[in-house]
Amino acid sequence: MATLSLLLLPPSPSSSSCYSTSLRRLALSLPPPLRPRRACAAAAPRILAQSVPSALTQDDLKKLAAEKAVEYVSSGMVLGLGTGSTAAFVVAEIGALLASGKLSDIVGVPTSKRTFEQAQSLGIPLSTLDDHPHINLAIDGADEVDPNINLVKGRGGALLREKMVEAASDKFIVVVDETKLVTGLGGSGLAMPVEVVQFCWKYNLRRLQELFKEEGCEAKLRLDGDGKPYITDNSNYIVDLYFKTPIKDALGAGKEISAFEGVVEHGLFLDMASTVIIAGKDGVSVKSRLISVEAA
């Protein structure tokens, strides 16, 4: 049987109320409430660790993280359904729970065409932000997670729809395996995507590379399997940025990228995730920003 251990930081005077409330709820083994919250501390996040068997594959770890995330789902919710290999495990688990009757009255808002197709095949009722502009909970993967649970997302090509859906959610849970953890965004050396309009994309590619020349950035147009420009669900191109060193100021970088005419969206998801579930060889851990709980 898996063992559970709980590590909680001592409360500061400014956060004692939210600390004691969180402790009572955790002691009762209740999932965090999924209503809007306000931040009450900027200290290190709460951590819950659960052991797992050894010799698991990366897909096994993703599945464990996905199963833990779905514990936060309740009947009657409007859910943001993420895109990517880890998010696919989440969608599959939700479909199975609906089929078994353990969940009911779920409405999913998919973040890509392929998530739409997977969810539809599993019988998950689907809608859009137009019809459900208020989402209770979004669950998605991430390409990078820094110590402050800021993210790089979009290597799957769905960053624009992901950001729209997740920004509309009361709570955004991220599921990853431990290989996605970095000390600073861009630190993996893999792509940080920027979605751009097709018109004069080379012009924006050059501007993006120049913007990050101090980080040794290389900008490349993303290509599909046939060697043609990759086209997003919104008929745009993606310029992938490859950094030799982590981005020094992610918040400032995001603002500067967004200021370029012709840039649609970037893959820096900053101050958006409320909880990150991480599966690794030492177990499954849950990191959350410290939050206050509304009175029942």
Tens digit of pLDDT at every position of the chain (296 positions):
333 333 333 333 334 344 344 434 434 444 444 443 333 333 345 555 555 555 788 899 999 999 999 999 999 999 999 999 999 999 999 999 999 999 999 999 999 999 999 999 999 999 999 999 999 999 999 999 999 999 999 999 999 999 999 999 999 999 999 999 999 999 999 999 999 999 999 999 999 999 999 888 999 999 999 999 999 999 999 999 999 999 989 999 999 999 999 999 999 999 999 999 999 988 899 999 765 344 33
Residue tagged active-site, from 144, 162, 195, 265: 162
The structure tokens listed for 55 are 């010799």
Q: Are 172 and 274 in contact (CB under 8 A)?
A: yes
pLDDT value at position 56?
A: 81
User: 162 an active-site residue?
Assistant: yes
User: How is domain 58-284 classified at the CATH fold level?
Assistant: Rossmann fold (3.40.50)
Name every residue whose Cβ is closer than 8 Å to that of residue 196 and which is 6 or more positions away in sequence. Answer: 204, 205, 236, 237, 238, 239, 262, 263, 264
What's the Cα-to-Cα distance from 179 to each of 117, 118, 174, rounded to whole Å? 28, 25, 14
Each residue's pLDDT tens digit, 61-79: 999 999 999 999 999 999 9
Write down the pTM of the prediction.
0.80
The structure tokens listed for 154 are 């979009």
pLDDT value at position 99?
A: 97
Name every residue whose Cβ is closer than 8 Å to that of residue 101 and which is 6 or more positions away in sequence. Answer: none
The structure tokens listed for 199 are 């018109």
Question: Could you give the strand order of the β-sheet that contains 275-280, starting from the edge strand earlier in sequence?
Answer: 4-7, 46-50, 283-288, 275-280, 169-177, 135-140, 78-81, 107-110
Look-up of token digits 């993210």: 151
